Structure 1
């Protein structure tokens, strides 16, 4: 739908000479604006210092020249209704612009700004302002929160340029207030002019200037396209229909003296929204970059003059409301997006005649496991555990069911196809099947260091099992550190369900040698830590297996004698037994059970 709408505006330097632009560098002569008014201007210098040498005003601070203002422009407006109000300042992406908004009707008593932004434009944004970036850029830090206004509030807006370049700017007001009060959101009574405020229109609009005055005897109309006012021959009525951008003047002849009134009229070009191709994806996209469609929508039109936005409904596209973010979070399925191409100079000149479809085909496969284990000679069931009856399934072994039962290791690939979306979306996933053997404990290595006992469990497979000491948590590593002396249980488990195995171990400490020479040091040998066991007995043997001594938990230890005779220097062996809870006598395993006698 293409539509042009007549709205009021204050300043335009597009289509007319820059000299005609009404720009005030001083607060006292701020340009008064009203209604839903796009304003276009440039800045050149700061005029007088409106802040009288102050170091800061809100977020704005003194520049190198010692003033808060740099290249400044001042505007004034008054609210005519209550609601949500914002504005968009369109700038060149290579330039640095700041702004401050003051709620006041007195330049000598501005107070602190109610909205303020000083960020440089490193992100090269096209807009700064209050409310929401109309381009849909949600991360733009050069936007401040919406204003909530009431009727009759006066505001001054300062716009500063801190760039070496100055390409000018545009201002467009926005917010819900313009939906509820489209004709009096901003109060035009602050503009005292027979012909009213400046007028912004779209090319092809009918604009009629009305100078009707009760006691007028004649009317003379003048036009200034940029080189001075010239009389418009033959135009002597109270109204004048205009079709060209220019400044217009009327002379109202009266018995009490003539009245002169000027007004600026600017016509903005009407954009054309070009057809945009549909887009479809089978990958289940989470985010779609809408900016890739801008070139299609604009055609040969410049993105410096026209802006593209995308909407979920035609009514939103027509009103310019609820523009979608550039990085659009897509839903699964088909969606129609409506395109609005609008003039940067005057957003009310727009074309919303085009739309396109985004089709987001979901992946036909859910996230099922891509690894499976065969326990010994058992089988495993693999594949899509949440099948869709509208999908077709095919395995690389020829089977056509969503799940299959396998008994051999290998790689099995499932392809699912969704023919319902019209895209023929397919997806494949490979399941690796591994044969896993039940866990076995081959050895347990115990380092009895008393202060930091270490237990290492050696299993029949590496990298597949998990390990636990007593009732502690399972861990991937097979080493346990700082194990206390006494009876413990170690468990090896297959997390893929191929069983577990446990062993009881005893952690003790004993000297690797002793010196029974009656010097008071290391004269006796004994196993430390057996007091935690029930009825422990230490049996000591020579290398031929002859029993030399038996020690209980409370015995002092072995003195290196047999039948009262000292035995020679050599290695000796021992075994440790204890009684379990069932009354059975058990021999401790996994002890490196030899030591040396030295004299």
Structure 2
């Protein structure tokens, strides 16, 4: 056996040993990062190279480049000496992020709570669930209330205008969404305001309300109104008019509320206390007497109650076409009658009182005619025919002498005793007094002489018949012995002087017929004319 040996040196290099630990899931929006879980554990020098979706050879992993899903990342280590290789593959999961979305009340109003509702979509259940919400309302003036971590928060914007609201959400894997930003317009509230006249008067105080409401964006024309007059007992306690009125029947006070709704539905209200309704004054007056006579005066005195004010005006209606404006005064009516005097007052609030009425009576004086002078035969009697026009009259005849009836009747019967003048006093309604007089001439029986001597000596020159001159309607007729009339007179104021047509009659006997009238019998006889 032939043998030959040849020897060589052989180098045996160590084999690299790769260790690649599990990698945690990462969020899609995470920044690129260095994979640190892979290494060579045997101390063999060499170079490691990463391969796979989204990873650079040096091990920089970019989730965005890789995309959503689970990917295998391979780590290959090659020794420097002999090119010995070891590899290991691990998977990495890129988690999907949530999509931030939200909605809010269709109308946002100043100083009102605006509700926000997160409508953010989730991700596959395997990738996690939304666990966090981060809101920014774009309202830094609200301080700590400008942010919220509630899923469906509310926020009060204290000023109207435009705001930018931002939401991002996070998952239970701490994956954060991109910011969702939506502009929101916060509408201004109306500025409700109104006024009313300062003073109102019962009864039926008609209060006119004047709307003064405004809004910063100038949309007052779109306002709607709801009034509450604070008077539920009235029935018609509300109105939707812009400038309504309401009738109050009590003093109050009343809480009047105006609610104003803008064109987009923002609502505000204001309440003003109405406490300027005043009670109605009460008219009243006194008069010193209620019955007087024409020409006399009444004294009227105001006794009205001005309620909660002071009297400033007096309005008197005297019922004769005249008025007065003084609180107290004397007044004279020029004609008789009944007058309904009215008074109402006005106080310093302009409130007019009830009308007070009192009737006064002005009485005319009685019309009195005691009658013409009368002639009564001595010892006879007659009725005084007085004429009186009066209401409820009383009568008094003075002096109380020679009456055959009462001296307190209208037409008394009197006896002819002596010449006398009677006064009739008549008292009518209201104590009005009138008087008149009548003269009573008592007619004594004529005393007829049967002789006279018309001879011019101044003694018995006329045929004087005593008392005949008191019979103004008497007739005297004288006849001669042949029955021829030689003298006639009506009345005997001028006695016969024994002449005919101015010529003396012959001496002798003549015959007379005297008719005194006035109820006295005719006298006849003779008379001798001597000289």
Q: TM-score, normalised by structure 2?
A: 0.29
Instruction: Using CA pairs under 8 Å that are at least 6 residues apart, name the structure with larger relative contact order, 1 or 2.
Output: 1
Structure of greater Rg: 2
